[in-house]
Structure 1
Amino acid sequence: MYEFVDPFVGTGGTELAAPKGLAAGWWWPKPQVGNTHPGATHPFGMVSACAYSGAYPTGYGVYEFNTEGVPGRLYEGPVASGFTHFQQSGTGAIRKYYNYFRVTPMVGPLDELGTTWELADEVAEPGYYAATLGSGVRCELTVGPKSAVHRYTFPAHEAARIVVDASIGGLAIPHGRTVPLKAHLAMLEPGAAQGEIHVEGVPLAVHLEVDAPGWRQLLWYDRRLMPGGTRLDFDYIRPTTLRPFGLMFMGPSRAEQTVEVRLGFSLRGCETARENLWADVGRGQATFPGRRARTATTWREHLGKVEIDASNDDQATIFGTALYHSLIKPCFAPDESPSWTTAGPYAFDICTMWDIYRTQLPLMTTLFPEQSVALAGALLSICEQEGNLPIGYRMAKGADRFSRQGSALAHTFFADLCQLDLPGIDWDWAMVHLEMDLRRTYGEDYLVHGVAHPISHTLDLAYAYHCTAAIAHKVRDRPLAQQMRELAQGWRAAYDPATGLLRDSTFYEGGRWNYSFRLLHDMRARIALAGGDEAFVRLLDRFFGYDAAPVTQPGTAPSVAEMDAGYALCRFEGLNNEPDYEAPWAYHYAGRPDRTAEVVHAAIANQFGTGRGGLPGNDDSGGLSAWYVWATLGLFPVAGQNLFLVSSPAVAESKLQLPDGDLSITTAEFEPVEAGGSVSYVQSIAVDGKTLERPWLSGRELRHIRNLHIQLGPEPSGWGTRVRPPSTSDPRPATGGEA
């Protein structure tokens, strides 16, 4: 899929064709912009590098801060004041915007630093970004796992410059700046320097090498050069007195002369940063082509894990780019933890678990289980050091920043790993932290009062107890497992039997309709609470807007009245909101997989496109893109239950490279998915030649089967209507068994 990836998808405000059919009734209140960036990245790598405009929220682009509707603009077109490192991917209001160590090629005086030049001739592919600044300098970026390499092609000039600003961080919007509170820079030898800044409690070190023989190198402070200076130290920096500082390389350039800048990064000091640079890039000049080629090869290997028979190039681009966006985060930085000194796994930009636990983490676990095991180890170490399993975790101190979003979401991730029996995790050690974490913050309310508000936390905690019971069973603590199973029944207190929906409460970025159709561990009882299959389906039909009139989406700076009218619809938000990701598959549990197919195909056909405006909302660290990947394949992971629901795929054939062998998904009577077009329904399924009556597979089955063959047709069938996905209150627990 490498050739079809377009990293510019999602970097602009949503620009999709007018929705047709069912999708015309969906209303999207959250930001209508993907919030991705096109910069150079490495699969699950520590470092990214991109053009820097200071725009919200990645530092790339043209938009102001926004949380509703169409974003306003800071700039008319793409601009950059240089090129920074470390960017979020697709997130929204995270209050942690990175963009450290800005490198700016210049052919003007230092006073021009901070100028935003127009960007032209932008090019992006996995692991590579290039553009030409309005100053005439051609700029190219690539990265390794812990390094970045820049290559600048200058025009002829008597005083060309490479300026590194170590003081910059964050965004050029109100309250978006990140100020280093401690810093030092040092010149080492001609063409080499190092530095370290402390931002939000974390030390970030860089070792820098510049391939420009004969150029002068100088430190600068407050835009004034410091000739002869070799060190610059700040033990205390106050935001109110911060002045920019950094280092500069300066000399005459020939026409078309290239200058290479190599940066190695570490959270454990400058010496480790140097080691990381040399390990990633090597030593010597002209390393850019080799690093770019190696990163491209790694991306080809990762993206090659999934192949599809796309109906056209647009579908191939949307899918390939979605897979690419799904493999950027979290950022793995082995042996780099700034919080403990031992070697071992470490990761940041788990931003946030609320965004990725339903779709992106299950995709990583399916395709790259070794990465999931490493993430589990990192999460446990974070918990041991900071006292909690984080809901979100950044390159910053304070893992509990996102506690309002959800409770105990990491437990779902651990439960899937546990049920797959993946090696490399000390489950007794894990059990200690998983149990302890259930009693923190909102967990105390759950235990004392039987309910936690926001009411969605009640569902989180009940589900986490169910997940943890499976892990307690694995470590043979049967009394604890039984206690966890009993506490997992607390989800009932969250629902109002009179409405079949959640009780009134406050909600994080949504309302009770958005959260009411979560896939619980006891969907059989949940549907009964709503009045049975037919009543539950009626609620879902209303939510998804069956027979509803088309709606108008919020515009730029929508009014309170406009937003209130939209929220009053109580409508599916068209994948613009994370809690809605799993709602279409709730139909499976009521014996209506035909409805699942209708909603999912409407979303695939209407809510994704090519170009900068091709996403319906924030990509959220790949959470939205991973949804598209799963939906296109005709699968959906029920996170925490080691379960995959099966539906109509959006491609005729696909192949997944899994750890135990390739899985091919084939179809018969396939029809391409089109906006407003007819829907293909599952008629029957065969797994390795054997009939599969149930609409789900266990994670173990998915790893070991070689072919999933789906017979499709233009009308709903009886498949999946009789045998339902498992629930804890089923008379006979479903174990997966043989297909």
Structure 2
Amino acid sequence: MLSTLLLPLLVGGAARAATDLSQYVSPLLGTTGGGNTFPGVTRPWGIIKLGPDLDSGTDAYSGYLSNGVFTGFSLTHESGTGGAPKYGVVSQMPWSGNITNPLLDLTASRTVADQASVGYYLATLNTSTTVELAATEKAGFYRYNFTGAEETRNVVVDMSHVLPSFRGQGLGQNYIAGGIEVFADGHYEANGTYDNGWNRSPDWTIFACGRFNQLPSSMPVFIGTGTTLTAFGQSTSANGTDRLGAVFTFPSNTTTIESRVGISFISSSQACTNLDGEITDQTTLDELVNGTAQAWNDEIFSKITLPNATDADKEILYTMMYGAFIIPSNKTGENPLWNSGEPYYDDTFTLWDLHRCATPLWHVLQPTFYEEYVRSLIDIFRNEGYMPDARSSFFNGRTQGGSNADNVLADAYVKGVRGKVNWSDGYAAMVKDAEVTPVNNDDPQAPDSSTKEGRGALPDWKQFGFITPTFSRAVSRAVEYAVNDFSLYQVAKGLGNTADAAKYLDRSAQWRNHWNPASSSLNFTGFLVPRNADGSFVAQDPRYCGGCYWGDAYYEALPWEYSFGAIHDVATQVNFSGGPEVFLNRLNAFFAPGNNPSNSTGTSQFNFTLNNPSNEPDFAVPSLYHFVGRQDLGVAQSRFVADTYYFDTSSGLPGNSDAGAMETWWLWNAIGLYPLTGQTTFLIHSPRYSMDIDLGSGKTLKITVEGGDQHTAFQVQSLKINGKDWKKNWLTYDDIFERGGTMEFVLGATASTWFTDGQLPPSPGAPGIAPLNITTS
């Protein structure tokens, strides 16, 4: 149970109040088993993500590993990411005894498991030292407790520290240069410049300002190459490309040292301003922990309340909410690249993952943040030429498939987000994605076209109406480009641009040109396969995808999975598959155990089903049952995934969290809806329990559950929306979210005939447009 992971809620001897929803959260969820979540301390969307960095010879994507040795505790991390580590900069490391070379042997193992609660982190080192961490938005707080023999106490500040990568893909971060200066009052100001990481970014710089609660007895700076010192002495400043930092030494009878550090991406003086404005020399650890818990309560957790739920229900729900709002990072006022009155959000990793479930949830639970995020995407386009599909350290990259910021903007537009969004500029950004091929950034893993931004395979998409093997990830891109073009259609239609609307609606049907009706698997025919420039199809077993990676035709999913991917055009999928009954059987085969013959396709194998709950392309597939009138099977399959692959343990996610994408899929499952991004449609599933959702501006969605059980009796028996009997298996944003509303469910163990009006969910893709004439081979 999650309760076994929770810190006993005692910090400085004061227990948290029973009404504190943060007490139900375990930041350790997803830290093992490939979830890669960040368990350290942070506030919602905070720049500071202060936590441990460990080394076991494998990539520590968020800094944390359950094994290995501590190499430092740094102020910046991401959460739930893969590919290669990012950040892990501005590090401190406590050490007892004389240090002759701070570049050597400064590692420690843990003696007991780390403990984490919202706003607090505790690590116990085998050097008879404990490390306690707390944070605000732009500053971090360290408390070191030394319990060993009396010898000199040290805190090593290493500005050349980064999270390394061991995968051998050329994605490891590099320390480029930096500087550090220590002052007579014991504080230091430093900077470091770094590059690379998963998004292959060029140089970026961070500034730090640190203060201690007592004056060090000495403060030597060090410079070195590799493990060899070139200078280590009482000089007060150092600059250069060699590794550098400073050692702050305190008397041997010191038992506790506190350090507070502010950061900025603008200047050292701004880092000091950020620090002194958020953590003063009078601020206590308890105050910081309680302030962070309160921020999460006020801004995040209070948005969903459970009037009748058990503690176990609250533990998993609020833990999932926590994981969903760690990143992106709100760097408004800290953008070194341009001055703007617009918000600035960084560390989007990635919209390929997030647009399916996360961004629609951000809109529902955090409408102010969501509008700011949309404005930030558009402002990045204004200043850099393209919106990002992913962005970190002030740099776009990497784009895995389509230009999925288009989907985010379309979803916001059709659901009425206006506010301060400049939709003229927003649509211009979308058109740029759809019409202008980005400059190739020569990514060695996919050298054919840009992985930085935009749509690198546009030449084929515009010339042929499909994407040839000239371009990597051809089939994946074709599906995503079609959805992206549908997004342009939605906004163009809303803006009254009828010519563009017709154009992009037609282009949104081009995924059909990859459909080979002769391709067969498991007694089903018709799958999306690669296609040559002469129109011929490339032979492809739909249960295999080659490497499922950057250079392949299918990215991180099988042909079976991508053949369900045109979420705007499901009616055509049903038609191409042979009609509703065949499509139903096809879905059943997708979820049947034993139909995936290989565990080496690049996908996680879950009972060898074709369904892969560890990866985002399959998020919507259980909901496709709704389009053939079998909402009950959609509920059953999605509830099976939620109950089988999500656990209340540190390994409780089915795969990489992907910046909270996994958590948001589970949260929609708990709410009992599934969003179709870029449309106003939500598919009705079955809520896990009664809940009240604060929609902002005084609006509330009240969901009640009568009868049933969330694990064994979750089928809908009847539903009332806003007091009226509801007979459709879908609803729109206006029905319950625009003004608030009520959903009253009666649940039971078996499927019922509640869905009786026969009106299937809308499938707004282009009607009547057939695929191009085909040549099979």
Q: Does 1:227 align with 2:238?
A: no
Q: 2:486·2:568 contact (CA, 8 Å) conserved in 1? A: yes
Q: 2:87·2:162 contact (CA, 8 Å) conserved in 1? A: yes
- Measure the CA separation in 2 of the matches of 1:567 and 1:293: 40
Q: Does 1:429 align with 2:425?
A: yes
**Structure-to-structure mapping, 1:676-715, within 5 angstroms:** 678-703=712-737, 704-715=739-750
Q: 1:184·1:231 contact (CA, 8 Å) conserved in 2? A: yes
Q: 1:513·1:570 contact (CA, 8 Å) conserved in 2? A: no
Residue 552 (structure 1) shift: 10
- Measure the CA separation in 2 of the matches of 1:447 and 1:519: 18
**Structure-to-structure mapping, 1:51-90, within 5 angstroms:** 51-54=52-55, 55-58=58-61, 60-62=63-65, 77=67, 79-90=69-80
Residue 641 (structure 1) shift: 0.9
- Measure the CA separation in 2 of the matches of 1:616 and 1:267: 35
Q: Does 1:620 align with 2:615?
A: no
Structural RMSD (CA): 2.6
- Measure the CA separation in 1 of the matches of 2:81 and 2:141: 25
User: Quick check: 625-634 or 450-459, which moved more?
Assistant: 450-459
- Please tell me the residue identity of whatever aligns with 1:58: Y
Q: 2:221·2:233 contact (CA, 8 Å) conserved in 1? A: yes
> What's 2:82 paired with?
92
Look up the SS of the partner of 1:644 in the other structure.
strand
Residue 294 (structure 1) shift: 1.4
- Measure the CA separation in 2 of the matches of 1:567 and 1:40: 32
Residue 341 (structure 1) shift: 3.0
Could you list the per-position Cα deviations for residues 545-569 of structure 1 after superposition, in whole angstroms to 9, with x for gaps in the alignment? 1xx4599996xxxxx5x97996996
Could you list the per-position Cα deviations for residues 590-619 of structure 1 after superposition, in whole angstroms to 9, with x for gaps in the alignment? 111011011011112111112222222111
> What's 2:701 paired with?
663
> What's 2:249 paired with?
250
Query: RCO (CA 8 Å, sep 6+): is it higher in 1 or 2?
Result: 1
Q: 2:53·2:60 contact (CA, 8 Å) conserved in 1? A: no
1:338/1:279 Cα in 2 relative to 1: closer, same or farther (>3 Å)? Answer: same
User: Quick check: 159-168 or 494-503, which moved more?
Assistant: 494-503
Could you list the per-position Cα deviations for residues 354-411 of structure 1 after superposition, in whole angstroms to 9, with x for gaps in the alignment? 11111111111111111122212222222233332222111153x1x322x2111111
1:87/1:599 Cα in 2 relative to 1: closer, same or farther (>3 Å)? Answer: same
User: Quick check: 324-333 or 194-203, which moved more?
Assistant: 194-203
- Measure the CA separation in 1 of the matches of 2:146 and 2:700: 48
> What's 2:11 paired with?
none
Q: 2:206·2:265 contact (CA, 8 Å) conserved in 1? A: yes
Residue 216 (structure 1) shift: 2.3
Residue 219 (structure 1) shift: 1.2
Residue 525 (structure 1) shift: 2.5
Q: Does 1:129 align with 2:142?
A: no
1:563/1:489 Cα in 2 relative to 1: closer, same or farther (>3 Å)? Answer: closer
Q: 2:482·2:566 contact (CA, 8 Å) conserved in 1? A: no
Look up the SS of the partner of 2:296 in the other structure.
helix
- Measure the CA separation in 2 of the matches of 1:565 and 1:382: 35
Q: Does 1:448 align with 2:487?
A: no
Residue 495 (structure 1) shift: 2.2
- Measure the CA separation in 2 of the matches of 1:624 and 1:202: 29
**Structure-to-structure mapping, 1:642-653, within 5 angstroms:** 642-651=680-689, 653=690
Look up the SS of the partner of 2:80 in the other structure.
coil
Question: How many residue pairs were aligned?
Answer: 673
Q: Does 1:337 align with 2:335?
A: yes
Task: State which of 410, 413, 429 in structure 2 corresponds to 1:415.
Answer: 410
1:162/1:226 Cα in 2 relative to 1: closer, same or farther (>3 Å)? Answer: same
Q: Does 1:284 align with 2:287?
A: no
Look up the SS of the partner of 1:118 in the other structure.
coil
> What's 1:153 paired with?
145
Q: 2:670·2:687 contact (CA, 8 Å) conserved in 1? A: yes
Residue 628 (structure 1) shift: 0.7
1:565/1:8 Cα in 2 relative to 1: closer, same or farther (>3 Å)? Answer: closer
- Measure the CA separation in 1 of the matches of 2:517 and 2:673: 31
- Please tell me the residue identity of whatever aligns with 2:191: E
Q: Does 1:183 align with 2:178?
A: yes
User: Quick check: 52-61 or 320-329, which moved more?
Assistant: 52-61
Runs of 5+ consecutive residues of structure 2 not aligned to the other structure: 1-20, 196-202, 438-455, 469-473, 519-524, 531-539, 541-552, 768-777
Could you list the per-position Cα deviations for residues 414-447 of structure 1 after superposition, in whole angstroms to 9, with x for gaps in the alignment? 1121123221110001111110111231223211
- Measure the CA separation in 2 of the matches of 1:550 and 1:587: 19
> What's 1:260 paired with?
258
1:124/1:263 Cα in 2 relative to 1: closer, same or farther (>3 Å)? Answer: same
- Measure the CA separation in 1 of the matches of 2:598 and 2:514: 30
- Measure the CA separation in 1 of the matches of 2:109 and 2:499: 65
> What's 1:116 paired with?
108
Q: Does 1:503 align with 2:529?
A: yes
Q: Does 1:357 align with 2:393?
A: no
User: Quick check: 343-352 or 424-433, which moved more?
Assistant: 343-352
- Measure the CA separation in 1 of the matches of 2:332 and 2:267: 14
- Measure the CA separation in 1 of the matches of 2:607 and 2:109: 44
1:270/1:119 Cα in 2 relative to 1: closer, same or farther (>3 Å)? Answer: farther
> What's 1:16 paired with?
none
> What's 1:488 paired with?
508
User: Quick check: 578-587 or 262-271, which moved more?
Assistant: 262-271
Look up the SS of the partner of 1:120 in the other structure.
coil
Q: 1:335·1:344 contact (CA, 8 Å) conserved in 2? A: no
Look up the SS of the partner of 1:157 in the other structure.
coil
- Measure the CA separation in 1 of the matches of 2:464 and 2:515: 15
Residue 102 (structure 1) shift: 1.5
Q: 1:465·1:488 contact (CA, 8 Å) conserved in 2? A: yes
Q: 1:519·1:638 contact (CA, 8 Å) conserved in 2? A: no
- Measure the CA separation in 1 of the matches of 2:746 and 2:598: 37
> What's 1:383 paired with?
381
**Structure-to-structure mapping, 1:479-628, within 5 angstroms:** 479-498=499-518, 499-504=525-530, 506-518=553-565, 520-545=567-592, 548=593, 571-573=610-612, 575-628=613-666
Residue 183 (structure 1) shift: 1.1
Residue 623 (structure 1) shift: 0.4
1:527/1:621 Cα in 2 relative to 1: closer, same or farther (>3 Å)? Answer: same
> What's 1:211 paired with?
213
> What's 1:474 paired with?
494
- Measure the CA separation in 2 of the matches of 1:245 and 1:233: 8
- Please tell me the residue identity of whatever aligns with 1:502: L
Look up the SS of the partner of 1:438 in the other structure.
helix
1:729/1:214 Cα in 2 relative to 1: closer, same or farther (>3 Å)? Answer: closer
Look up the SS of the partner of 2:694 in the other structure.
strand
Q: Does 1:295 align with 2:297?
A: no
- Measure the CA separation in 2 of the matches of 1:152 and 1:322: 30
Look up the SS of the partner of 2:90 in the other structure.
strand
- Measure the CA separation in 2 of the matches of 1:594 and 1:372: 32
Could you list the per-position Cα deviations for residues 185-220 of structure 1 after superposition, in whole angstroms to 9, with x for gaps in the alignment? 122441211111111221111111122235322212
- Measure the CA separation in 1 of the matches of 2:610 and 2:683: 23
- Please tell me the residue identity of whatever aligns with 2:179: H
1:219/1:171 Cα in 2 relative to 1: closer, same or farther (>3 Å)? Answer: same
- Measure the CA separation in 2 of the matches of 1:335 and 1:278: 16
Q: TM-score, normalised by structure 1?
A: 0.86
User: Quick check: 358-367 or 716-725, which moved more?
Assistant: 716-725
Q: TM-score, normalised by structure 2?
A: 0.82
- Please tell me the residue identity of whatever aligns with 2:611: F
Look up the SS of the partner of 1:380 in the other structure.
helix
Q: 2:50·2:133 contact (CA, 8 Å) conserved in 1? A: yes
1:645/1:141 Cα in 2 relative to 1: closer, same or farther (>3 Å)? Answer: same
- Please tell me the residue identity of whatever aligns with 1:388: Y
Could you list the per-position Cα deviations for residues 650-691 of structure 1 after superposition, in whole angstroms to 9, with x for gaps in the alignment? 22x112111142211112222131xxxx44221221112111
> What's 1:406 paired with?
401
1:645/1:179 Cα in 2 relative to 1: closer, same or farther (>3 Å)? Answer: same
1:503/1:549 Cα in 2 relative to 1: closer, same or farther (>3 Å)? Answer: closer
Alignment identity in percent?
Answer: 25
Q: 2:511·2:566 contact (CA, 8 Å) conserved in 1? A: no
- Measure the CA separation in 2 of the matches of 1:511 and 1:174: 23
1:34/1:388 Cα in 2 relative to 1: closer, same or farther (>3 Å)? Answer: same
- Please tell me the residue identity of whatever aligns with 2:507: L
